[in-house]
Amino acid sequence: MVKIADIELGEFPLLLAPMEDVSDPPFRAVCKKYGADLMYTEFISSEGLIRDAAKSTMKLDIFEYERPVGIQIFGADIGPMREAAAIAEQAGPDIIDINYGCPVKQVALKGAGAGILQNIPKMVEMTKEIVNTCSLPVTVKTRLGWDDGSRHIVEVAERLQDVGIAAISIHGRTRAQMYKGDADWSLIAAVKNNPRMNIPVFGNGDIDTPEKTVEYRERFGVDGIMIGRASIGSPWIFNEIKHFMASGEHLAPPNMKERIAAASMHFEGSLTWKGDRLGIVEMRRHYANYFKGIPDFKKHRLDLVTFDNVEDIRAKLLLIADLFKDHDFSR
């Protein structure tokens, strides 16, 4: 049984990665339905929380059906991060997570996210301060290093454990790689196999099939897998992986009725949580993946990403369900 502090996650948990503009409550609800064992919020700016900025505080919304769920925060300065952790804890999550992995310029070049990988002593000190501030377990998501010359994750993970983190998730690329090239899981395995490590080590990067999950579990020995981009528009990937791990057989892909049900659940949740306008706009990034591989679908996808009226989108989803009800997704 893999545990983060006292939180039981199963024998080989599947985690939903925190993804900006993706891992919101409506998306998390669908992923939970389809088997995610632990989920994290979108990353939340420490400065935004301290200023009580609406966009940041809205991301603190969590719901009972999501548990266990972690709130992830990011920032470049220790004081604001400590204060943000205390604010996040008041929202009632199960875990506080620190983002030391975001590679985008507007975050990393300000010393936050993966940017702190250029200053490991500060990273350790910040982590220690947050652990000491929180009564909840604190976890970390990070990368192998800043660039190929600083892939010090084995030492870094050990130092973070020493100041009290309860688990670590590692993306198998450096900041310099962004999302290019293949993720290097050998260093994730080196962290897991370090005899001094006694906290769960979760691997992240390039996991997009049940076969790869099983292969990486056996090759690299991680305690669980964190899945990000492969879940967008395909939240059933969690159940597909679990079924394959248990039986060695593939779960039948969801048919059109099931895809429409998932997309509609996601859409209605977006409307409820964000309001009609924002709910419509932010849902658009998901449709292509919900209906991936359907021939002659371009016009329908265009309608879904351009319609501005809730009823028009609902009607379009019903029409798609009828027009493509016999499409074989197993091909």
The catalytic residues are: 102
CATH class belonging to 3-247: alpha beta
Question: What is the pLDDT, as a whole number, of residue 273?
Answer: 92
Integer Cα distance of 64 and 82 in angstroms: 25
Please, which residues have CB within 8 angstroms of residue 86's CB and are 6 or more apart in sequence?
A: 133, 134
β-pairing, 7-8 vs 69-74, is: unpaired
Question: What is the pLDDT, as a whole number, of residue 331?
Answer: 61
Question: What is the pLDDT, as a whole number, of residue 162?
Answer: 97
The encoded tokens of residue 106 equal: 């507007």
CA neighbours closer than 13 Å in the CB half-sphere of residue 129: 16
* Whether 74 contacts 66, CB under 8 Å: no
Rg (CA), the chain: 20
Please, which residues have CB within 8 angstroms of residue 92's CB and are 6 or more apart in sequence?
A: 62
Reading the chain (331 residues) residue by residue, the pLDDT tens digits are: 999 999 999 999 999 999 988 999 999 999 999 999 999 999 999 999 999 888 888 898 999 999 999 999 999 999 999 999 999 999 999 999 999 988 888 888 898 998 999 999 999 999 999 999 999 999 999 999 999 888 999 999 999 999 999 999 999 999 988 888 889 999 999 999 999 999 999 999 999 999 999 999 999 999 999 999 999 989 999 999 999 999 999 998 898 999 999 999 999 999 999 999 999 998 998 888 898 888 888 899 999 999 999 999 999 999 999 988 888 777 6
Question: What is the pLDDT, as a whole number, of residue 295?
Answer: 85
Q: Where are the alpha helices (DSSP H) in the chain?
A: 25-33, 46-50, 54-58, 78-90, 105-108, 120-133, 153-162, 186-193, 210-220, 237-247, 256-274, 276-290, 298-306, 310-323
Question: What is the pLDDT, as a whole number, of residue 175?
Answer: 92
The CB density around residue 73, as the number of other CB atoms within 10 Å, is: 28
* Whether 138 contacts 93, CB under 8 Å: no
Supply the DSSP symbol for 114.
Answer: G
Integer Cα distance of 92 and 71 in angstroms: 9
CATH 3.20.20.70 placement within the chain:
3-247
Please, which residues have CB within 8 angstroms of residue 278's CB and are 6 or more apart in sequence?
A: 270
CATH 1.10.1200 placement within the chain:
256-323
With tokens 């952790």, the residue in question is 85
If DSSP codes are grouped into helix, strand and coil, which group holds residue 118? helix
Tell me which of 1.10.3470, 1.10.1060, 1.10.1200, 3.40.50 is the CATH number of domain 256-323. Answer: 1.10.1200
Query: 227 has which bridge partners?
Result: 16
Beta strands of 5-150 (E only): which ranges? 7-8, 14-16, 38-40, 44-45, 69-74, 95-100, 138-143
